[in-house]
Chain A
Amino acid sequence: MAEVATTAVPQRVAGRLRLRGAAPLAGTVPFFAYVAIFLVIPTLVVVIGAFAGDDGGLTFANVKALTSGYIMDAFGRSILLSAVSALVGAVLGALLAYVLVTAKPRGLLRRVVTAAAGVLAQFGGVTLAFAFLATIGLSGFVTVWLKDHLNVDLYANGVWLFELPGLILVYTYFQIPLMVIVFLPALDGIRPQWREAAESLGGTTWQYWTKVAGPLLAPAFLGSALLLFANSFSAYATAAALVSQGSPIIPLQIRGALTSEVVLGQQNLGKAMALGMVVVVAVVMGLYSLLERRTAKWLA
């Protein structure tokens, strides 16, 4: 009897303790359940589906198919589009951010431009595509003006707006604002004392930029450029609205795979392409976060 009593009590106490430790967790169950269903499961569907064969077994055929000509070309074009738009966006965006940082911190200019940047960075997609169609589309404002006033036919050598050059131009429209948003905090972190110290030690403006501000901003600039790259690589809506025929870039290839009703195998190929995209973006974002940490150490 005594033995039963002594073992019963610790069990009950332990049970109560365990319950107390678990109770707060219950408050997070809705969140985790939701994220599991609508984020984790879709991610797993893509990752697992990329290696799923037509028969349901494991296969590398889909991933291997990624290396086939037209898909590799699409990856290549996606990377080219992302790299060029990121570079142009980074340089021009950094310039605009520099202009903002030299203006009054609470002034109207900075607030309006920052708000505009916030909108334009987020709200790409269809709206942007139509805006460019209205500007330099076949019957756009600028196209018509050039033809009427300067006798210049923008599309004498083909309609480039719906191909890579056009996409690069349109993507820049949201890359520049995104650069402003992402790079501005780093510029704010540059203390005026550093410039003044460099000057009092005898440095010229050029020496200040090459020996102090340049090295300090380099990680932030690079990181922001990488973020722009990832953003451009992942973009779908703008290209979808502009390009109705053909699929020059990977996101449009995925569209093709999803909307094609041909074979189930195509579906899994779409998943493999999606996995490829995730890998590229994940690598880029990983590098970005490493650079962010360096920036935070110096310019926080």
Chain B
Amino acid sequence: MTGVAVHLKGLRRTFGTVHALDNLDLSIEDGELICLLGPSGCGKTTALRVLAGLEDADDGQVLVGGKDVTALPANKRDMGMVFQAYSLFPHLTAVENIEFGLKLRGRRRAPGRAADMLELVGLGQFGARYPHQMSGGQQQRVALARALAIEPAVLLLDEPLSALDAKVRVQLRDEIKRIQSSVGTTTLFVTHDQEEALAVADRVGVMRAGKLEQLASPADVYQKPASAFVADFVGLSNRLPGSVDGASISVLGTTLPLVSPGAANGDATALVRPEAVSVEADPEGAGRVLTCSFLGPTSRVTVTVGETLVIAQVASGLIPSLAPGTAVCVKLAPVPVALDM
């Protein structure tokens, strides 16, 4: 059963005085991969575990494929889950792990299907290996195969890549995206790594303190952040002083449109992305280069303009002309900005 819609309605979960989930509403369309992104303690893992049935919400409803499963125990919800660590049963081989869910349902085609799933995740030759004989990345692939083997209605991934090496992480996240697209299972992916979220998700849900701050496509979350928190959490932001006039703000001599107009006129702080800042050597410029870091394809330059510190992302070819101390002219691209609350 692939491609069901999931609705989390008004979920509330409190631990003492902490609101892990604060009236959370989330809808996942069938076949969609939604990433829940946020800092530790924002409630993203709690939301996933409530959906899985491993934790109970104090209030609210969980609907899967139109059916209310809130009162259903975890083992009766048709879901596949991959954990951050210790996903696999250590006493079973890869194939036996994958067959586990199938055997519980009395499927007689279990060995064949397990072999297919192993091929799907690219580990066809690893069937007889035990978890302690596999690397972290390989274990997570087997865990993914095991979760998908039972053809679940929903696939749940709880920070599956957080415990892996950087390079493996990038490889595996592309794998996960590819497999999810081909199988088409509705997926909820929880992570604290914003680059991961932007790369993998159809839509990103940024959470804070139990609430959903924004649920939008990766491009929208990055370019049109709904709040200062989102703008700050996803990518780098400069905090530049300016003054609001109607639906735009004047910063460092440039007028920039506001993402959410309606702010009071007067002094405010704009959140500007480093790649929206351009820096050019200019003997009459108002800015002075402070530091210059070569990061490979691009470089990061910090410039002081009066009392303000501005971080700019420039093409590495410009570096020779931007030695520390050089006078520069700072320009801002006319993209909409959010205000720091």
Contact = CB atoms under 8 A, between A and B. Distances in A.
Interface of A: 191, 193-194, 196-204, 207, 211-212, 215-216, 297-299
A204 B81 contact: no
B229 interface: no
Question: Most chain-A Cβ atoms within 10 A of its Cβ — which of B53, B74, B85, B143?
Answer: B74
A261 B91 CA distance: 57
Nearest to A207: B104
Contact of B87 (A197, A207, A216, A298): A197
A212 B54 contact: no
B294 interface: no
Nearest to A200: B81
Nearest to B131: A298
Question: For the complex, would chain A's binding face be called helix, strand, loop or mixed by DSSP majority?
Answer: helix
B105 interface: yes
Contacts of B146: 197, 201
A202 B150 contact: yes
Contacts of A202: 75-76, 101, 104-105, 150
A216 B105 CA distance: 22
Interface in B67-116: 73-77, 79-81, 83, 85-91, 100-101, 104-105
B5 interface: no
Interface of B: 52-54, 73-77, 79-81, 83, 85-91, 100-101, 104-105, 132, 143, 146-147, 150, 156
Nearest to A216: B91
A201 B89 contact: no
25 contacts: A191-B86, A193-B83, A193-B86, A194-B86, A194-B89, A196-B74, A197-B88, A197-B143, A198-B75, A198-B100, A199-B73, A200-B74, A200-B81, A200-B147, A200-B156, A201-B75, A201-B104, A201-B147, A201-B150, A202-B75, A202-B101, A202-B150, A203-B104, A207-B104, A211-B100
Contacts of B87: 193, 197
Nearest 4 A/B pairs, CB to CB = A201-B101, A200-B81, A191-B86, A199-B74
A207 B80 CA distance: 17
A14 B81 CA distance: 66
A77 B75 CA distance: 49
A73 B113 CA distance: 58
A198 B85 CA distance: 15
Given A202-B75, A202-B105, A202-B150, A197 B89 contact: yes
Nearest to A299: B90
B54 A196 contact: yes
A197 B81 contact: yes
A295 B91 CA distance: 10
B130 to A, nearest CB: 8
Contacts of A194: 86, 89
A297 B132 contact: yes
Nearest to B130: A297
Nearest to B97: A197
B90 to A, nearest CB: 4
Contacts of B143: 197
Contact of B79 (A191, A200, A204, A211): A200
A215 B81 contact: no
Given A193-B83, A207-B104, A297-B132, A200 B75 contact: yes
Contact of B75 (A193, A203, A216): A203
Contacts of B90: 216, 297-299
Given A196-B52, A201-B104, 16 more contacts: A191-B86, A193-B85, A196-B74, A196-B81, A197-B89, A199-B53, A200-B52, A200-B74, A200-B81, A201-B147, A201-B150, A203-B75, A212-B89, A216-B90, A297-B132, A298-B91
Nearest to B88: A197
A202 B88 CA distance: 15
A7 to B, nearest CB: 56
